[in-house]
């Protein structure tokens, strides 16, 4: 499974990238706002830092305007994936931008039908939002499983990018089901390393080591 980091915080990206934990980055208008930086500037810095896809999102609602914005964003770097919403206009923009040779991430997916349309439109990535479905008492993981089955049925090349990851359980289940990619905030990726039995075992080992009176260095 590929790990994308869902943030525009360059320091957080750099830390994980140095550990080999970053296969790509996803941003959106909310994350750009949180960063407090110019979208073109911060996106360029991120794209220069990581070798994988960096999603930069359009903000227009009409297809022609999305295409124009997408083309401008794609000029930032060769590894930019233009992010468009899963609307009819977004699908039109996806098709045009894909035919231009750009990577396209179709976002805000909440149904298998939407995912099927995105694949037909040529999306590089489809981003189903797990956490937001859970928020309204629907099963976000079931959507990942449904899309996985649909795409496998017809050998679609569109990659499933599990988004709105809120917990380590989301990360685990997405991997178990077979999502190609997950995008998660840096803190969720770090928490994947934590386990209470690891902490308990380490504490016991260190207490026993102290009793030996030895030193390695």
Catalytic residue of the set 44, 62, 72, 83: 83
- Dihedrals phi, psi of 30, to nearest 5 degrees: -65, -40
Pair of tokens at residue 139: 């099963």
Query: Is 83 known to be catalytic?
Result: yes
SS (H, E, C) the chain: CEEEEECCCHHHHHHHHHCCCCCEEECCHHHHHHHCCCHHHHHHHHHHHCCCCEEEECCCCCHHHHHHHHHHHHCCCCCEEEEEECCHHHHHHHHHHHHCCCEEEEEEECCHHHHHHHHHCCCCEEEEEHHHHHHCCCCHHHHHHHHHHHHHHHCCCCEEEEECCCCHHHHHHHHHHCCCEEEECHHHHHHCCCCHHHHHHHHHHHHHHHHHCCCCC
Distance CA 153, CA 156 (A): 8
- The residues annotated with a catalytic role in the active site are 83
């Amino acid at each position: 499974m590929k790990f994308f980091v869902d943030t525009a915080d360059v320091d957080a990206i750099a830390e994980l990238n140095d550990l080999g934990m970053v296969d790509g980055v996803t941003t959106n208008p909310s994350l750009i706002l949180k960063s407090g930086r110019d979208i073109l500037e911060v996106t360029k810095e991120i794209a220069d830092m990581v070798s994988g896809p960096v999603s930069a999102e359009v903000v227009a609602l009409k297809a022609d305007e999305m295409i124009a914005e997408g083309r401008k964003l794609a000029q930032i770097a060769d590894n930019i994936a233009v992010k468009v919403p899963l609307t009819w206009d977004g699908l039109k923009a996806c098709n045009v931008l894909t035919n231009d040779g750009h990577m396209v991430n179709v976002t805000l997916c909440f149904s298998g039908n939407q995912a099927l349309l995105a694949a037909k439109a040529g999306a590089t990535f489809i981003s189903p939002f797990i956490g937001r479905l859970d928020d309204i008492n629907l099963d976000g993981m079931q959507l990942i499983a449904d899309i996985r089955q649909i795409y496998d049925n017809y050998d679609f090349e569109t990659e499933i990018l599990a988004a709105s990851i809120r917990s380590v359980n989301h990360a685990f289940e997405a991997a178990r089901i077979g999502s190609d990619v997950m995008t998660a905030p840096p803190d969720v990726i770090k928490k994947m390393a934590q386990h209470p039995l690891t902490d308990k075992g380490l504490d016991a080992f260190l207490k026993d080591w102290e009793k030996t009176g030895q030193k390695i260095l």
